[in-house]
C-alpha cells in the first residue's frame, strides 16, 4: 500500500513539473513548452472592452459567453501573428526588443511585419491564441503596468 501511495505521489509530482507554464506581462511572453522547438507561432490581439467591465468582475468561464462577445471587440489596428522559425530555440519572446528569428506579422496586412511590438499598453486588454495546445489567455495590463491573466481552455465552453 505504501508503495502505491508513493508511486501516485511521484507521478503527480512529475506531471506537475512537466506542465506547460505560460507567463505574460507588458514586456514578454514566456512558455516553457516552447523549449526545444524550432517553430513558434501565436496570435496577439488587443481588445476593446468597455470601461464598465473590470478585470476582477469577469468570470473566466464567462469569457466565451454571448453576453461578453457582444461588448468585447477586437482592435483591428493591433492584431499580430508572432512567428519564429530558426535554429535558435526560445522559451521567451520580448515585445519591446528584437528576438533572433522572431517577427510579428499584422493579421490584416501581411506586408506589415516588424521585429518588435513595443510594451503592451497600460489599461488595455489582450487576447493570446495558439500559445500552446491547451489554453487561450486574456490579459489585462493595469494602470501600474501589472498584468493579470485569465486562462481559458477552449474545449470547456
Longest dimension (CA), the chain: 63
Whole-model pTM?
0.79
Q: Mean pLDDT across the stretch 52-75?
A: 70
Question: H or E segment at 14?
Answer: helix 2-18
pLDDT the model gives residue 72: 81
Average pLDDT, the chain: 81
CA 121: distance to chain centroid? 15
pLDDT the model gives residue 141: 93
The 10 Å Cβ neighbour count of residue 23 is: 12
Q: Quick check: 138 and 126 in contact, CB under 8 A?
A: yes
Question: H or E segment at 31?
Answer: strand 28-31
Confidence of residue 33 (pLDDT cuts 50, 70, 90): confident
Confidence of residue 35 (pLDDT cuts 50, 70, 90): confident
Amino acid at each position: 500500500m505504501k508503495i502505491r501511495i508513493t508511486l501516485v505521489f511521484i507521478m503527480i509530482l512529475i506531471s506537475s513539473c512537466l506542465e506547460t507554464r505560460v507567463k505574460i506581462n507588458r514586456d514578454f511572453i514566456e512558455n516553457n513548452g516552447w523549449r526545444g522547438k524550432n517553430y513558434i507561432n501565436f496570435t496577439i490581439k488587443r481588445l476593446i472592452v468597455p470601461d464598465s467591465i473590470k478585470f476582477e468582475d469577469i468570470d473566466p468561464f464567462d469569457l466565451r459567453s454571448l453576453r461578453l462577445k457582444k461588448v468585447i471587440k477586437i482592435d483591428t489596428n493591433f492584431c499580430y501573428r508572432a512567428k519564429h522559425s530558426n535554429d535558435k530555440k526560445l522559451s521567451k519572446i520580448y515585445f519591446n526588443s528584437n528576438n533572433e528569428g522572431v517577427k510579428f506579422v499584422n493579421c490584416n496586412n501581411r506586408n506589415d511585419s516588424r521585429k518588435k511590438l513595443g510594451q503592451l499598453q497600460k489599461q488595455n486588454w489582450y487576447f493570446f491564441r495558439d500559445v500552446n495546445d491547451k489554453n487561450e489567455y486574456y490579459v489585462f495590463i493595469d494602470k501600474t503596468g501589472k498584468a493579470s491573466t485569465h486562462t481559458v481552455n477552449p474545449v470547456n465552453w
